[in-house]
Amino acid sequence: MIVAYAHKGCLDQSRELFNSLESRDPSSWTAMIEAHACNGQSKEALETFWQMNQDGIDADEITFISVLHSCSHTGMVEKSLHQFARALFDAIARPDVVAWNTMIEAYANAGQLDQARALFDAMPVDKNVVSWTVMLTGYSQLGQYERALGIFQRMDLDGIQQDDMTLTAILSACSHVGLVGPSKLHFSSMLADYGVTPRIEHYQCMVAILGRAGELGKCEELVGRMPIAPDVGAWKNLLGACSIHGDVDRGDVAANAAAEMDPSNEVPYLLLSNIVRG
């Protein structure tokens, strides 16, 4: 029930139920840690773990993985948190693929890609699509796009079926290195080759890719024929492309659409004024 409340966003009820327990075993502590983690409260999840330790409750493997997951989303800026997360990982007798993936993600989110890659390469268990995607995303987010593309190519060679998160990451990487052709190929074959229906994030990536390449007509056409309603991000990507290439007419359409969706944001009109001024 603690986790069930949390998944509905009712964290206060989760905490109230947890506090009402006369005795708390590792399962109840883990549930409370997960409740914080699934609501984006990584700091509170870690504090709950420390409180569990202070109360003399021995953590089990499920607890370790829950706390590792929380660590991976703090960014682990402090060296002590790096060491803490690794100590948790090393304390698991036989880490499964979830534990390995979570530790790799913790390193990647902290920008420690060499450590993440070393752990990735050393995995004694079979890598799944999450393992590959965590590594690919880590490279892409830190601007190492060629390495991200290398991971994607290895996935293909190893017969790993990409999912929607993998394809978002690879489209983003292709965008930054200007690979328009491969981007179009990946995007057009998402459903047929990977069984993935394109989401708004994939359309946003393609708008950015076409825009950077100066294909503003195709960019506008893509926004107009999306099977899902374009969001403010898609219009801003089109507007950004118009700003780069000085397209006033399309920029005006994109700026008005973006401003209508987000009236408090002045950036669309500032970009449009820059286009008009040339």
Parse the chain into domains and list their residue ranges: 199-278
178: phi > 0 → left, psi -120 to 50 → alpha, else beta; which? left
CA-to-CA dists, residue 106 to 88, 111, 139, angstroms: 12, 9, 13
Cα 106 to Cα 138: distance, rounded to the nearest angstrom: 10
Structure tokens at 223: 């926004």
pTM greater than the 0.85 cutoff? no
| Per-residue pLDDT tens over the stretch 120-164 | 999 998 999 999 999 999 999 899 999 999 999 999 899 998 999
CA-to-CA dists, residue 66 to 12, 70, 158, angstroms: 20, 6, 29
Structure tokens at 97: 């693929």
Cα 251 to Cα 166: distance, rounded to the nearest angstrom: 31
Query: What pLDDT shows up at residue 76?
Result: 47
pLDDT by residue for the chain (278 residues), tens only, comes to: 777 767 777 778 888 888 888 888 888 888 888 788 777 777 787 788 888 878 887 777 777 777 777 666 655 445 555 666 777 788 777 888 988 998 898 888 888 899 999 999 999 989 999 999 999 999 998 999 999 999 999 998 999 989 999 999 999 888 888 889 999 999 998 988 889 999 999 999 999 999 999 999 999 999 999 999 999 999 999 999 999 999 999 999 999 999 999 888 888 888 888 788 86
Cα 85 to Cα 106: distance, rounded to the nearest angstrom: 8
Provide the H-helix boundaries in 79-125: 79-91, 97-109, 113-122
Identity of residue 147: R
